[in-house]
Structure 1
Amino acid sequence: MQISLPIAIGARYTRSKKGESFVSFISTVSTVGLALGVAVLIVVLSVMNGFDRELRTRILGMVPHGVLYASQPTSEWPALVAQARQAQGVVAAAPWIEGQGMLTQSGAAKPLLYYGIDPALESEVSILPDHMVQGSLDALNAGDYGIVLGAIMARQMGVTLGDPVTLLIPEASLTIAGVRPRLKRLTVVGVFEVGAELDANLAYVHWQDAAILKRQKGKADGVRVRFENLFDAPSQLQLLARQTDTRGRDWTRTHGNLFEAIALEKTLIGLLLAMIVAVAAFNIVATLVMTVNAKRADIAVLRVMGMGPGEVLLTFVVQGVFIGLIGIVSGTVLGLAVAFNVPAILAFIESTFGFTLFRADAYFISYLPSDPQWSDITTIVGGSFLLCLLSTLYPAWRASRTEPAEVIAGGH
Structure 2
Amino acid sequence: MVRPFSLFVGLRYTRARRRNHFISFISLISMLGIMLGITALIVVLSVMNGFHKEIQERILGMASHATLSNPNGIEDWPALIETLKGHPEVVGAAPFVEIQAMLMHGGRTHAALLRGIEPDQEDAVSDLRQDMIAGSVDALTPGSFRIVLGRELAALLGVGLGDKVTVVTPQLNATPVGVMPRLKAFTVSGLFEVGMSDYDRGAGFMPMADAARLMRLGEAAEGVRLKLTDMWDAPQVAREIRYSLDGLYQVSDWTQVHRNFFAALRTEKRMMAIILFLIVAVAAFNIVSTLVMVVTDKRADIAVLRTLGASPRRIMAIFMVQGTAIGVFGTLLGVVGGVLLGWNVESIVASIEGLFGVQFLDPTIYYISALPSDVQASDVIRIALGAFAMTVAATLYPAWRAARTDPAEALRYE
TM-score, normalisation: structure 1: 0.83
1:336 counterpart (322, 339, 344): 339
Q: C-alpha distance in 2, partners of 1:190/1:64?
A: 21
The amino acid across from 1:11 in the alignment is: T
Residues 1:183 and 2:189 are matched in the alignment: no
1:57 corresponds in structure 2 to 57
Are the counterparts in 1 of residues 132 and 190 from structure 2 also a CA contact under 8 Å?
yes
1:255 corresponds in structure 2 to 258
Residues 1:409 and 2:401 are matched in the alignment: no
The amino acid across from 1:219 in the alignment is: A
1:276, distance to aligned residue in structure 2 (A) = 4.2
Q: Within 5 A, what are the aligned runs for 1:134-213?
A: 134-176=134-176, 178-197=178-197, 198-213=199-214
2:298 corresponds in structure 1 to 295
Q: C-alpha distance in 1, partners of 2:366/2:257?
A: 18
1:352 corresponds in structure 2 to 358
Q: Within 5 A, what are the aligned runs for 1:302-321?
A: 312-321=315-324
For the residue of structure 1 that corresponds to 2:296, the secondary structure is: helix
1:42, distance to aligned residue in structure 2 (A) = 2.2
Instruction: Label 1:352 to 1:155 Cα distance change in 2 as closer, same or farther (>3 A).
Output: farther
Q: Give the alignment's Cα RMSD to 1 decimal.
A: 3.5
For the residue of structure 2 that corresponds to 1:352, the secondary structure is: coil
Deviation digits for residues 86-113 of structure 1 (CA, Å, limit 9, x no counterpart): 1342222111111111223343322110
Instruction: Label 1:338 to 1:183 Cα distance change in 2 as closer, same or farther (>3 A).
Output: farther
Are the counterparts in 2 of residues 51 and 262 from structure 1 also a CA contact under 8 Å?
no
The amino acid across from 1:372 in the alignment is: V
Instruction: Label 1:79 to 1:44 Cα distance change in 2 as closer, same or farther (>3 A).
Output: same
Instruction: Label 1:370 to 1:353 Cα distance change in 2 as closer, same or farther (>3 A).
Output: closer
1:104 corresponds in structure 2 to 104
For the residue of structure 2 that corresponds to 1:42, the secondary structure is: helix
Deviation digits for residues 373-405 of structure 1 (CA, Å, limit 9, x no counterpart): 101101110121122122223323433444544
Q: Within 5 A, what are the aligned runs for 1:96-135?
A: 96-135=96-135
Q: C-alpha distance in 2, partners of 1:235/1:191?
A: 35
The amino acid across from 2:300 in the alignment is: A
Deviation digits for residues 192-237 of structure 1 (CA, Å, limit 9, x no counterpart): 2222232221211121121122233322112222233334333433
TM-score, normalisation: structure 2: 0.83
The amino acid across from 1:225 in the alignment is: L
Deviation digits for residues 118-137 of structure 1 (CA, Å, limit 9, x no counterpart): 11111211232333333332
List runs of 5+ in structure 1 lacking aligned partners: none
For the residue of structure 2 that corresponds to 1:390, the secondary structure is: helix
The amino acid across from 1:352 in the alignment is: V
Are the counterparts in 2 of residues 43 and 336 from structure 1 also a CA contact under 8 Å?
yes
1:283 corresponds in structure 2 to 286
The amino acid across from 1:229 in the alignment is: D
The amino acid across from 2:402 in the alignment is: A
2:13 counterpart (10, 15, 37): 10
2:226 corresponds in structure 1 to 225
Are the counterparts in 2 of residues 6 and 311 from structure 1 also a CA contact under 8 Å?
no
Instruction: Label 1:95 to 1:74 Cα distance change in 2 as closer, same or farther (>3 A).
Output: same
1:319, distance to aligned residue in structure 2 (A) = 2.5
Instruction: Label 1:4 to 1:265 Cα distance change in 2 as closer, same or farther (>3 A).
Output: closer
Q: C-alpha distance in 1, partners of 2:83/2:401?
A: 73
The amino acid across from 1:262 in the alignment is: L
The amino acid across from 1:248 in the alignment is: V
Q: C-alpha distance in 2, partners of 1:310/1:405?
A: 18
Residues 1:395 and 2:401 are matched in the alignment: no
Q: C-alpha distance in 1, partners of 2:296/2:107?
A: 79
Q: C-alpha distance in 1, partners of 2:222/2:168?
A: 20
For the residue of structure 2 that corresponds to 1:125, the secondary structure is: coil
1:215 corresponds in structure 2 to 216
1:372, distance to aligned residue in structure 2 (A) = 2.0
1:382 corresponds in structure 2 to 385
Matched residue pairs, number?
405
Instruction: Label 1:32 to 1:258 Cα distance change in 2 as closer, same or farther (>3 A).
Output: same
1:323 counterpart (309, 323, 326): 326
Instruction: Label 1:187 to 1:366 Cα distance change in 2 as closer, same or farther (>3 A).
Output: farther
Q: C-alpha distance in 1, partners of 2:244/2:317?
A: 67
Q: C-alpha distance in 2, partners of 1:169/1:283?
A: 66
Deviates more, 1:268-277 or 1:161-170: 268-277
2:241 corresponds in structure 1 to 240
Deviates more, 1:138-147 or 1:227-236: 227-236
Q: C-alpha distance in 2, partners of 1:358/1:289?
A: 55
Deviates more, 1:152-161 or 1:303-312: 303-312
Instruction: Label 1:155 to 1:6 Cα distance change in 2 as closer, same or farther (>3 A).
Output: farther
Deviates more, 1:287-296 or 1:54-63: 54-63
Q: C-alpha distance in 2, partners of 1:96/1:286?
A: 66
1:358, distance to aligned residue in structure 2 (A) = 9.3
Q: What fraction of aligned residue pairs are identical, expressed as a percent?
A: 43
For the residue of structure 1 that corresponds to 2:216, the secondary structure is: coil
1:170, distance to aligned residue in structure 2 (A) = 3.2
Q: C-alpha distance in 1, partners of 2:320/2:9?
A: 9
For the residue of structure 2 that corresponds to 1:194, the secondary structure is: coil
Q: C-alpha distance in 2, partners of 1:108/1:404?
A: 89
1:373 corresponds in structure 2 to 376
Instruction: Label 1:164 to 1:283 Cα distance change in 2 as closer, same or farther (>3 A).
Output: same
The amino acid across from 1:223 in the alignment is: V
